[in-house]
Amino acid sequence: MLDYKIIYLTDDGITSLRCGVGAITSNFIESFPAINDYFKKRKINISLSVISFNTSKKNIGYRIDLKNRAKSICRSTGGKVYLIYRRKIRKIGYFDFSYWKKYNEEISKIINRIADDGNKKVIVLANDTIFANVHCPKNVIFVWIPHSLAMVHSQTYVNNAKRLNWEKEAISRINSMPDHFIGYISPFVKSILTKKLKVKKDKAIPFQNGFCLKYIKKQSSYSKKQIDKMLIKRGIDTKRPIILTFARADEYKGLEHSLRVMTHFTDTGYYYGVIIASRFSNELIVDRVQENLRKILSGHKNISAFFEYEFELPKYLLRYAKTQVLLNLPNKDFCPLIPFEAELIGNKNLQVINSNIACFNKLVINNHNGFLVDPYYPKAFIQVRKAISIRAEKKKTVIKNAKKFAQQNFDIITNYIKGFECLFEKEKLGKGLTRT
């Protein structure tokens, strides 16, 4: 029997749920028992430990249920949840690299303790850029899984040059060290890493995004009565078909373009619009994005807008039979989760319309397994109108194909098993393993 300790690093999804990384984390935690069972049948035993941040009850997105679930699953495998305290970041915000360095140093000490305790091989999965420069002992396998990169996600409120240097430092170390690798979350990300950032091809391991299908379907298995009650409670019109857009209130999510498109359809009175620009932090960028959306909303009726922390309301709306269109028009992204979760849990007639940016062009064929439009207004409106107006039978076929594609490609159990198998197959990882 081969024994491994998995140490999963994440800044969201354990004590809070605010973004895509948190969604991936919670889905991975739920899927781990199935992943573990798969490898046990192949004489490989895996324990899971998690290192994350301890979030205050007062913080946005606090989730005690996720923390308790993670503790339970880790404990059942012989692992543990380790929580470190997040330092208060006021002026610079999340992207304060001096704090990132301190977090990485603190986490490195925990990894050293875990690695020294016993003779099992240790694998560290470091999720997102914040943990890119965690230093591990020589006997530890390190996999950095970026969920965003400066080259793709350059933002006005971030020192992108510093961020790029941080990422290049990690890539240089990964390329030069035998037990270090980089996990890619989509084919598009792999191409960015290997072609533009010069990650060696044998260092790229597939840890592609996905969902624990049973988990997300269970989490959104609302009855019609429950859905109607929730929407009425939130002041959403239940008499008309709905056109929906939602994302966290960040500048690259394209919410302003989605909203401008939406107003054209809601002003006629046929559609009712819902926009959810969820507050994910107290940083100034959230206020700026939301203020811009309020200006666009001025003078337009037939739209409900939600600007506080919202993680459950979108699921009700996706399941709602009268939600006909989901607009997802980011102007840059890596491997967005929103549209593919919508395909998996959304009602059978939901038309998901995405922007035709590079990450979607690697996955979606327009009018075959999805709908792609220009992300910028006014072109977006013209193309969305055309997509909504296609023949009913054609639309039905495309929606069916899109749902099938999501089911086949966004199962996190299948995707992470493939990633672990790639690690286990590496020649370096086959040496010095403990056999029992």
**What pLDDT digit, counting tens, does each position of 73-91 carry?**
999 999 999 999 876 544 4
Q: Give 3-state DSSP helix, strand, coil % of the chain, rounded to 5.
A: 45, 20, 35
Residue 165: pLDDT over 60: yes
Residue 139 has which token pair? 């006997």
**Strand blocks (E) in 55-176:** 81-85, 121-127, 140-145
Q: How many CB atoms lie within 10 A of CB 177?
A: 13
Residue 385 maps to a domain: yes
**pLDDT of amino acid 426:** 82
| Residue 436 placed within a domain | no
Q: Select the more confidently predicted residue: 239 or 1.
A: 239
Same domain, 99 and 247: no
Residues 258-280: pLDDT tens digits?
999 999 999 999 999 999 999 98
Residue 215: pLDDT band (50, 70, 90) is very high
Asked if the model's pLDDT at residue 116 lies above 90, the reply is: no
CA distances, 245 to each of 153, 207, 325 (Å): 21, 28, 8
Q: In what order do the strands lie in the sheet with 272-278?
A: 303-306, 272-278, 242-248, 323-328, 351-355, 371-373
Among the ranges given (15-24, 90-99, 140-149), the one the predictor scored with the smallest mean pLDDT: 90-99
Mean pLDDT of the chain: 93
Place of tokens 């939301």: 290
- Written as six digits, the tokens of 19 are 């973004």
Domain hosting residue 192, numbered range: 2-210+411-430
> Same domain, yes or no, for 122 and 190?
yes
Task: Determine, yes or no, domain membership for 435.
Answer: no
Q: Which residues contact 158 (CB under 8 A, 6 or more apart)?
A: 95, 150
Whether residue 86 lies inside any domain: the answer is yes
Q: List the single range of 69-78, 114-123, 171-180 with lowest mean pLDDT.
A: 114-123
One domain, residues 268 and 379:
yes
pLDDT of residue 1: 82
Write down the pLDDT at residue 106. 94
From 283-287, 327-331, 366-370, the region with the lowest mean pLDDT: 283-287
- 422 is written with which tokens? 């790639």
In a domain, 91, yes or no: yes
23 shares a domain with 150: yes
Q: Is the pLDDT of residue 61 over 60?
A: yes
239 and 155 inside one domain: no
Same domain assignment for residues 162 and 259: no
Region 427-432 average pLDDT: 47
- 275 and 167 assigned to the same domain: no
The predicted model gives 123-144 an average pLDDT of: 94
Read off the pTM: 0.94
Is the confidence at residue 296, as pLDDT, over 80? yes
- Verify that 312 and 366 share a domain, yes or no: yes
Angle at 256 between CA 250 and CA 259, to 5 degrees: 125
Sign of the CA dihedral running 148, 153, 157, 161: positive
Q: What is the CATH number of the domain that holds 198?
A: 3.40.50.2000
Q: Does 159 lie in the same domain as 197?
A: yes
Q: Is the pLDDT of residue 281 over 90?
A: no
Amino acid at 405: F
Which helix H or strand E contains 262, and what residues bound it?
helix 255-266
Average pLDDT over residues 204-225: 94
User: Quick one: tokens of 272?
Assistant: 């009712």
- Report if residue 402 sits inside a domain: yes
Comparing 67 with 102, which gets the higher pLDDT?
67
pLDDT band at 117 (very low <50, low <70, confident <90, very high): confident
Are 235 and 197 contained in the same domain? no
Q: Hey, how many other C-beta atoms are within 10 angstroms of the C-beta on 304?
A: 17
Q: What is the reported pLDDT for 88?
A: 52
pLDDT attached to residue 432? 38
Q: Is residue 206 reached through a cis peptide bond, with omega within 30 degrees of 0 on the bond before it?
A: no
14 in a structural domain: yes
pLDDT at 394: 98
In a domain, 172, yes or no: yes
Is pLDDT of 375 > 50? yes
The pLDDT of residue 211 is above 60: yes
Inter-residue contact 47 to 76 (CB < 8 Å): no
pLDDT, position 68: 98
Greater confidence (431 vs 36) lies with 36
> How many separate domains does the chain show?
2
- Is the per-residue pLDDT at 427 higher than 90? no
Is the same domain home to 129 and 228?
A: no
Q: Which residues pair with 274 in a beta bridge?
A: 244, 304
Please report which confidence band the pLDDT of residue 335 belongs to, taking 50, 70 and 90 as the band edges: confident
**436 pLDDT above the threshold of 60:** no
Record the tokens describing residue 14, joined without a space: 């354990």
Residues 21 and 147 in one domain: yes
Q: Does residue 54 register a pLDDT over 70?
A: yes
